[in-house]
Structure 1
């Protein structure tokens, strides 16, 4: 088994393959796809396809990567009743997340004036025949909640199908698996910060996707408010910190990411919401208390987990 990592799309991309001879080509494929994703979906690039749509409110013959990512984002909104909302671009700008996170000032005396979405996602019009997008008036899109997870799914599948080996793609905590797993499965440390190699729980996955959403890794301060990047669409402000982080395992990374994001917004209602959907999850409170849902394994050193 071989691995590599590199900075991409504002995070760190980790790539593992079961065939060492396939790593170089797999790395090339992943870098190329993430470059395409950045040009299509970045909110921080003035030349991105997303910025063109956000500035005009309408576009035809939209970049195919962006159009596919938009369809995933709208579906996530539909499946969660708007808990995961792609129309929070103006809300993100209002709280100060108006540039790549590395460039966001850590503090400011200016107090936030929230912008609510008003469930504008229901009014997005996508036409597959012409690949056209029409946004409600004044709406700006932000695909941060789903595009990275979708990219992990697509990249892992493409690499596995082309190179015929087992693949794990991890994009800043959004993890997708494709192809045959190594003996014993892929060992993954589940924690709030994917860059940390201690703490959390180690599980072994054979297929599917895993996503962890946190209220503490990406934070900054405005006046007396400590902010983070997971917004509650109902308020336009960061979700209340009922959970330190939530990890969800599912059949694919998009499903896992959508659920982990929704769980942070739901707060104390999250365990029941996840259980109703039979989504295995590990929810960690600020005091370290762990709540396991829908078959998530016990806190053993290494627990094997099967995703349906």
Structure 2
């Protein structure tokens, strides 16, 4: 192996370590399941001043995405999520007794207008009783950050993947661009189609993965803010190809909540985006 190849390998290993640190820092800042995270402190107190740049940027991005999607993507759905049963990390759902949050009968309905930002002080104010969740958009943002670091080090061919959200650059080894297999979300087997992506991101939202029984009803984590209930409109999954991972993640959720026709129409209005929808019969639309 040439000295140049060895140096490239060492740089790549350093980038992997850097990526792990970026993800760990994001988790400590943005996870609602860590009681000492910045997000948990905001939800507990309703106000935070001089928030970290990462936290403020993520909340600000969430509000912008809420405006873009006309409120279909809404970061203030946390009460509705917990009411549906998603009140602990998904690995624990089904293994523990239901938490108190799942027994709430009333809660503040979602509205991104409950969040007020002051950019000069990097302060965040929540309306009384409002709480926010940043799960998907935070994951997308961090994947994009890691991709930017990789590109900044001169690497053109790369893939960053986190829980199904992917940012792709350059070429897959031996391929022209990247090939991404789309799995059947009903059977969790087989490939429905293969996407070809040269530069950009892929994200999928599905009602068939993160789901659980609450009482005798099947629930999942995709909440329609218009009803505060898990969405049920005949779609099983939506995959989006978009310029950034954060945008792809938000648009996948939005299109799934809007449903087949309205979702297709909304995505058609977004620049450089593609949408793939799968119904409850496993058919690719």
After TM superposition, the score normalised by the length of structure 1 is 0.81
Task: Provide the residue aligned with 2:41 in structure 1.
Answer: 52
Any idea what SS the aligned residue of 1:175 has? Answer: strand
Q: Match for 2:241 among 241, 246, 249? A: 249
Task: Provide the residue aligned with 1:284 in structure 2.
Answer: 278
- The CA distance in 2 between the partners of 1:235 and 1:41, in whole Å, is 26
Q: Match for 2:268 among 275, 293, 296? A: 275
- The CA distance in 2 between the partners of 1:150 and 1:267, in whole Å, is 25
Structure 1 vs Structure 2 CA RMSD: 2.3
Task: Provide the residue aligned with 1:88 in structure 2.
Answer: 77
Task: Provide the residue aligned with 2:12 in structure 1.
Answer: 23
- The CA distance in 2 between the partners of 1:72 and 1:115, in whole Å, is 28
Any idea what SS the aligned residue of 1:168 has? Answer: strand
Maintained 8 Å contact 1:192/1:217:
no
After TM superposition, the score normalised by the length of structure 2 is 0.87
After superposition, the C-alpha distances for 1:253-285 in whole angstroms (9 at most, x for unaligned) are 111111110111111321222223353111011
Rg bigger for which structure? Answer: 2
**Which structure 1 segments of 5+ residues have no match?**
1-18, 292-308
Task: Provide the residue aligned with 1:39 in structure 2.
Answer: 28
**Which structure 2 segments of 5+ residues have no match?**
1-7
181 and 128 in structure 1: CA distance in 2 versus 1, 3 angstrom threshold: farther
Any idea what SS the aligned residue of 2:191 has? Answer: coil
Any idea what SS the aligned residue of 1:265 has? Answer: helix
Task: Provide the residue aligned with 2:130 in structure 1.
Answer: 139
After superposition, the C-alpha distances for 1:176-201 in whole angstroms (9 at most, x for unaligned) are 124x33441122122366xx674232
Aligned pairs, number: 270
Q: Match for 1:229 among 204, 221, 225? A: 221
Task: Map 1:77-116; keep pairs closer than 5 Å.
Answer: 77-105=66-94
1:146, distance to aligned residue in structure 2 (A) = 1.0
